[in-house]
Amino acid sequence: MANALTEDLKYDYLSVDEPPVRDERIGGCTAYFGCCSGLKDDFRKGCAQALNRKFSQSGGCQLMLAMGIINTISNIVTIIHSPLGCCSNLAGMAGVRNISRASRGLKTENQTFIHTNLDELDVVNGGIEKLRRAILYADKEYQPEVIAIMNGCVPGVIGDDVDGLVRELQPKVSARLVPVHCEGFKSRFVSSGYDAANHGILKYLIREPKDTDESGTETEYESKERISKTVNIFNVGSNSHKDELELSRLIKKLGLIPRVVPLHASVYDLDRLGEAALNVSICATHDDYLLGHLKERYGTEYVLDVLPIGINCTNRWLRKIAGHFHLEKEVEELIEEETKELIKAIEPFVKVLKGKRAFVGGGETRILTTADFYRSIGMEIVGIKSHNLDRFVQYLLDEIDNPHLPVEVAAGQPAEELNLLKRLKPDIYIGHIGANGWVTKLGIPNIPLFGTTINYMGYSGAYELPRRAARALKNTNFSKNISENTELPLSDEWMKTDPKKNIVRGALF
Partner 1 sequence: MSDFIERSKFSCALGGAITTITAISKAIPIVHASGGCAAALSNTYNLSSGYRGTGYCGGNMIPTSNITQSHIVFGGEEKLAGQIESTIRYIKGDLYIVVTGCQTELIGDDAVGVALKYRENNVIGVSTPGFKGNTLRGYDEVLCTLIKEVVEKTDEKEEKKINLIGIVPGHDVFFKGNIEHLTDLLKRIGIRANTFFGDGESIEKIKTYGRAKLTVVLSETAGQLAAKAFENVHKIPYITTDLPIGPKATEKFLKLIGEALGIENKIIDRVVKDEKKYFYSYLERIVDAASDLDFQRYAVIVADSYYAYPLTEFVSEELGWIPYFVAVNDIEDDKLQEEYKNKFDRLTSYTKPEILFENKSGIIEKKLDLIFKEQTGSKYHDRPEPMFIIGSVVERVLAKKYGAGFLSVAFPVSNRVVLNKGYAGFRGALTLTEDLLSELVSAR
| Residues 8-27 close enough to bind partner 1 by CB under 8 A | 23
Our finding on whether 107 is near partner 1 (CB under 8 A) is no
Burial of 343 (0-12, 13-18, 19+ CB in 10 A): middle
3-state SS, residue 68: helix
Beta bridge partners of 5: none
Considering the complex, state which of residue 4 and residue 157 has its C-beta at the smaller distance from partner 1: 157
Our finding on whether 112 is near partner 1 (CB under 8 A) is yes
**Binder of partner 1 out of 5, 29, 39, 86 (CB under 8 A):** 86
- Span from 7-15, 125-133, 222-230, 352-360 in contact with partner 1 (CB under 8 A): 125-133
Peptide bond just before 262 cis, omega within 30 deg: yes
Q: Closest Cα to residue 390, out of 4, 5, 34, 69? A: 5
- Span from 148-156, 222-230, 271-279, 291-299 in contact with partner 1 (CB under 8 A): 148-156
- Span from 43-51, 116-124, 172-180, 354-362 in contact with partner 1 (CB under 8 A): 116-124
**Binder of partner 1 out of 50, 158, 173, 424 (CB under 8 A):** 158
Residues 467-496 close enough to bind partner 1 by CB under 8 A? 487, 489-491, 493-494
Our finding on whether 190 is near partner 1 (CB under 8 A) is yes
Report the amino acid identity of residue 495: M
Our finding on whether 463 is near partner 1 (CB under 8 A) is no
3-state SS, residue 32: strand
Our finding on whether 123 is near partner 1 (CB under 8 A) is yes
Our finding on whether 141 is near partner 1 (CB under 8 A) is yes
Pairwise CA distance, residues 212 & 344, whole Å: 44
Contacts by 91-99 with C-beta closer than 8 Å and gap 24+? 96/452, 97/71, 97/72, 99/452, 99/453
Pairwise CA distance, residues 391 & 504, whole Å: 22
Pairwise CA distance, residues 72 & 265, whole Å: 7
Largest CA distance in the chain: 72
- Span from 83-91, 211-219, 234-242, 347-355 in contact with partner 1 (CB under 8 A): 83-91
Considering the complex, state which of residue 133 and residue 471 has its C-beta at the smaller distance from partner 1: 133
Report the amino acid identity of residue 405: L
Residue 247 CB, shortest distance to partner 1, in Å, is 29
Applying CB under 8 A, what is the total number of residues that bind partner 1? 75
Our finding on whether 55 is near partner 1 (CB under 8 A) is yes
- C-alpha angle 143-146-152 in degrees, rounded to nearest 5: 120
Residues 289-318 close enough to bind partner 1 by CB under 8 A? none
Our finding on whether 191 is near partner 1 (CB under 8 A) is no
**Binder of partner 1 out of 263, 367, 411, 442 (CB under 8 A):** 411
Task: Decide if 452 contacts 240 (C-beta within 8 A).
Answer: yes
Pairwise CA distance, residues 77 & 493, whole Å: 49
Our finding on whether 1 is near partner 1 (CB under 8 A) is no
Pairwise CA distance, residues 330 & 319, whole Å: 10
Pairwise CA distance, residues 385 & 88, whole Å: 28
Our finding on whether 102 is near partner 1 (CB under 8 A) is no
**Binder of partner 1 out of 238, 413, 446, 460 (CB under 8 A):** 413
If residue 233 lies in a helix (H) or strand (E), which one and from where to where? Answer: strand 230-234
Residue 368 CB, shortest distance to partner 1, in Å, is 21
Our finding on whether 208 is near partner 1 (CB under 8 A) is no
**Binder of partner 1 out of 15, 92, 329, 505 (CB under 8 A):** 92
Residue 286 CB, shortest distance to partner 1, in Å, is 18
Our finding on whether 60 is near partner 1 (CB under 8 A) is yes
- Helical pair 310-324 and 328-345, crossing angle rounded to 10 deg: 160
Our finding on whether 395 is near partner 1 (CB under 8 A) is no
**Binder of partner 1 out of 414, 426, 458, 461 (CB under 8 A):** 414
Pairwise CA distance, residues 278 & 300, whole Å: 6
Residue 493 CB, shortest distance to partner 1, in Å, is 6
Considering the complex, state which of residue 132 and residue 253 has its C-beta at the smaller distance from partner 1: 132
Residue 237 CB, shortest distance to partner 1, in Å, is 15
